[in-house]
Amino acid sequence: MDPVTLTTAQGLNLFGMLASVLWYALRIGAAIQALPMVGGRGIPARSRLVLTIAIAAALSQMLPAPPPAGVNAATFLAVGREFAMGIAIGLMLRIAFEAGEVAGQLVSQGMGLASATLANPTSGESSPVVAQWFFLSFGLVFFASDGHLALIQLLFDSYGSMPVGAPIHDWGAFVSSVPQFFGVALRTGLLLALPVMMALLAVNVAVGVLSRAAQQLSPMSLGFPIALLVGLVLLMSLARELQGPVQRLFGEAFQAARALTG
């Protein structure tokens, strides 16, 4: 083979590999963008792009080549399906993280820290400090339990059950999976916050009774420090028991995400 032909063949192979990586990067990039710990506003866009291309390049070596792309309606529909599938997978895990936000919001109300907010780097909005503590705790459990590796395995398996360009046959099941898991995440967030909320409610009732018995005791000056101290002690105790429920929630999130791909 002459040098010109060899160079042309190598160039065609390079373009073919690049096309495969770009096809796989659509679903992977959409999933990463929807994740709060990796795809939030606190992570630079260039870093997210490099991570997406790196994962897509690694998986493209173990997956079959995608169908050839052309400028037609089928290609645009395939691109839309890839984005929809990636966003749905990432949204399942994001809903699991939002359960921590719900628990933090409820606990903040009982501790009197609802107005103590900080800018959340992942969303760009303000949220209570207790909600951010729950959010970071969820992220710590996610990475400590190798959730990032399970996510890569989930993306790899999704191409086996729903390859690039394959149509989504059951749109009803695809759309209904997110609301079903939303109820599970909401219930988990409520159950995590319920012991702390009930304890703080008992503290507030006790302070109210004392303020009625002794008129010189101000419920504001007495109740807020006690509720804050009791809330911090309960959060310290909850941190020791947080790993199990959060791991089960992430396990259900991965199961719901796998159900999306059939």
Using pLDDT thresholds of 50, 70 and 90, give the confidence band for residue 42.
low
The DSSP element (H or E) to which 59 belongs, if any, is helix 45-60
Instruction: Determine what percent of the chain is predicted with pLDDT higher than 90.
Output: 1
Cβ count near 238 (within 10 Å) = 18
Using pLDDT thresholds of 50, 70 and 90, give the confidence band for residue 111.
confident
Task: Supply the DSSP symbol for 118.
Answer: E
For 179-195, write each residue's pLDDT tens digit.
778 888 888 888 888 88
Using pLDDT thresholds of 50, 70 and 90, give the confidence band for residue 40.
low
- pLDDT score at 127: 76
For 193-229, write each residue's pLDDT tens digit.
888 888 888 887 887 777 776 666 666 666 677 778 8
For 122-180, write each residue's pLDDT tens digit.
666 677 788 888 888 888 889 888 888 888 888 888 888 787 767 666 666 666 677 77
Q: Which residue has the higher pLDDT, 132 or 42?
A: 132
User: From CA 249, how far away is CA 185, in angstroms rounded?
Assistant: 7
Q: Which residue has the higher pLDDT, 69 or 109?
A: 109
Using pLDDT thresholds of 50, 70 and 90, give the confidence band for residue 72.
low
**Entry pTM:** 0.80
Residue 40's contacts (CB-CB under 8 Å, 6 or more residues apart) are 121, 122, 123
* 3-class SS string, 186-255: HHHHHHHHHHHHHHHHHHHHHHHHHHHHCCCCCHHHHHHHHHHHHHHHHHHHHHHCCHHHHHHHHHHHHH
- pLDDT score at 168: 65
